[in-house]
Homo-oligomer: A and B are copies of this chain.
Amino acid sequence: MISFDFFSKDKIQAQHSTSDALDMFTSIINDERFGFVRLFERKDLLDKCKETFQKFKNKKHFVHVGIGGSALGTEMLIKGLAKNDFPFTLINNIDPDEMNAQIKKLNLKECVFFFVSKSGGTAETMATLAIITSELIKLGVKENELKEYFVFATDPVKSDLLELGQNLEITCLEIPSDVGGRFSALTPVGLFPALFAGINIDDLYTGAMAYKKELLKKENNSLVDGCNFLYALAQNGVNQTVLMPYSSKLKELSFWFVQLWAESLGKKTNLNGKIIHSGLTPIPAYGATDQHSQMQLFMEGPYDKCLILLEVENFENDFSLASPFAGPAFERLRSKSLSQLIKAEFYGTLKALKESERPFIHMKVSKRDEMHLASMVLYFEALTALMGAYLQINPFDQPGVEAGKIFAYEFLEKTQ
C-alpha cells in the first residue's frame, strides 16, 4: 500500500520503543475526546451525505464556503481525486475583490452552497453566508426557500449555524464533536463535496479502516518509525518538515498537511503548563515543479529541513515525448515517456539529497486513488497526534489564535 524509506547521514536514536510509542498512540485514539480514527466506523455519515447528494445533485454548480480546516481537506480530495469536471468554487477568504469576482461568475440560483464551520460561528464563513443570502434574496428567493440552496456542516450539539439550520429547515450534516476541524477532511466536510466530483466515498472509509491496522502493528511500524525519525531530527535542529508529493494533483495534500502540522504542534506550553514554544514548521512543496523554486535552498541552505518526498508509482495516463525537433534537449527525451521523466526527476533529486547528506523520507504509494489518499490522510493525522505526545503538548487545541480573534472583534466594533 504505502512504503517508507528513511535516510539520514547520522544514526537516528529512537525516542521511544515501538511498544511504548504504540501505547501512547493507543491511549490517544481511545481517548473519547479525540475521534479521528474511530470516525471510519460511522457509516451513518456516508449515508447522510449520499442522501443529501441525491437531493441536490441536479444543481449545476457546487460552492464550498469554509476556511482553514473547513476547506483544506475538501480541496485536497477534490483536486486529488475528482473524476469529473463538476463546477466547483471554493470561497475560503473575505477579500472583497475576490468575493466579487467569484460571485459574479455564478448563476446563484443554480448553485448548491455548502457552509462549513465546526464551531458554527466562524466570522469569515458567517460573513459569506450573510452575503450569499442577500444576493439570493435580491434574486427573489424567500427566506423559507433557502433550504433549497443551502446545506450546512457543523457540530451536531452546539453551534449558531446548527440553530439557524434547524429554524430554516436547512439540511445540517454532522462534523462529529470529537473530531477537530483540521482532522475533519473525511467527515461530511469533505465527503459531501466529494460526491459531486464523482469520488467513491465508501472507498475512502474502506482505505482508512484497512490502514488503521498498519498503524497498530507491532513490528516495522511506519508510524512509529516516522515519528522517531522526525522527532530525533528536530532535537538536532532539523525542525522544518517539507512535504513534497511528485504530483500536481496532490499539491493540496501538502497545504492540508501544513495546517495539520503547524496548528497541532505549534504550542506555547506543554501539558504541564511549562512554556516551551514547541513546533515543527511545515513547508508546502510539490515536484517536479519546486525543483525549480525551492530545491536550491533545500539542497544547499541551512541543515534545518527534512523532506518527505512522495512518489506515486503508477499514473493513469502517459504521453510519448517523441518530437520532430533536433537539438540535445529533444534528443534526450525522444524515446521516453512523460511518466519516465517525472520518475527520473524524482530519483535524481533523491540521489542528490543523499549526496548532500540531507535527511529525507521516501514515501511511495502505488497509485493516487481513494484508498491510498485516505491512508495517507490517516498516516499524517496519526503522525501529528503521536508527535504531539512525544512533544508532551496537546495537538488538538489552538489557543494561540484566540487573542487575534478577540482583537479583531475589538477593531471591528470600533469601525464606523
Contacts and interface: CB of A to CB of B under 8 A. Distances in A.
A273 interface: no
A351 interface: yes
A210 interface: no
A260 B348 CA distance: 23
Contacts of A14: none
Contacts of A415: 336, 340, 343-344
Interface in A265-308: 265-268, 277-279, 281, 283-284, 286, 288-289, 291-305
B266 A321 contact: no
Contact of A401 (B161, B299, B339): B299
Contacts of A129: 323, 325
Nearest to A340: B415
Interface residues of A, number: 127
Interface string A315-351: 1111111111111111011001111111111011101
Say how many copies of this protein the assembly contains.
2
Given A292-B401, A297-B263, A301-B267, A323 B93 contact: no
A296 B407 contact: no
Interface stretch (A20-28, A66-74, A224-232): A66-74
Contacts of A121: 327-329
Given A98-B247, A248-B95, A412-B340, A404 B327 contact: no
Interface in A220-257: 239-240, 246-249, 255
Given A96-B339, A281-B240, A401-B291, A348 B411 contact: yes
B296 A262 contact: yes
A329 B97 contact: no
Given A120-B329, A278-B301, A411 B347 contact: yes
A341 B126 CA distance: 11
Given A95-B248, A96-B315, A121-B329, A277 B259 contact: no
B281 A301 contact: yes
B344 A127 contact: no
A133 B279 contact: no
A386 to B, nearest CB: 18
Contact of A330 (B71, B130, B267, B329): B130
B163 A327 contact: yes
A400 B302 contact: no
Contact of A68 (B96, B292, B405): B292
A245 to B, nearest CB: 9
Nearest to A121: B329
A258 B292 CA distance: 11
A404 B323 contact: no
18 contacts: A71-B289, A93-B248, A93-B289, A94-B288, A96-B337, A97-B248, A97-B249, A100-B317, A121-B328, A122-B292, A134-B319, A263-B293, A266-B296, A267-B300, A268-B300, A284-B284, A336-B412, A352-B403
Interface of A: 67-72, 85, 92-101, 105, 120-124, 126-127, 129-131, 133-134, 143, 160-161, 163-164, 181, 239-240, 246-249, 255, 258-259, 262-263, 265-268, 277-279, 281, 283-284, 286, 288-289, 291-305, 315-330, 332-333, 336-345, 347-349, 351-352, 355-356, 368, 398-401, 403-413, 415
Given A123-B345, A300-B399, 9 more contacts: A95-B247, A97-B317, A130-B322, A267-B296, A296-B400, A343-B411, A348-B409, A349-B404, A356-B400
Please give me the 7 A-B residue pairs with the lowest Cβ-Cβ distance, nearest first: A68-B292, A348-B408, A279-B301, A266-B297, A266-B301, A130-B323, A348-B407
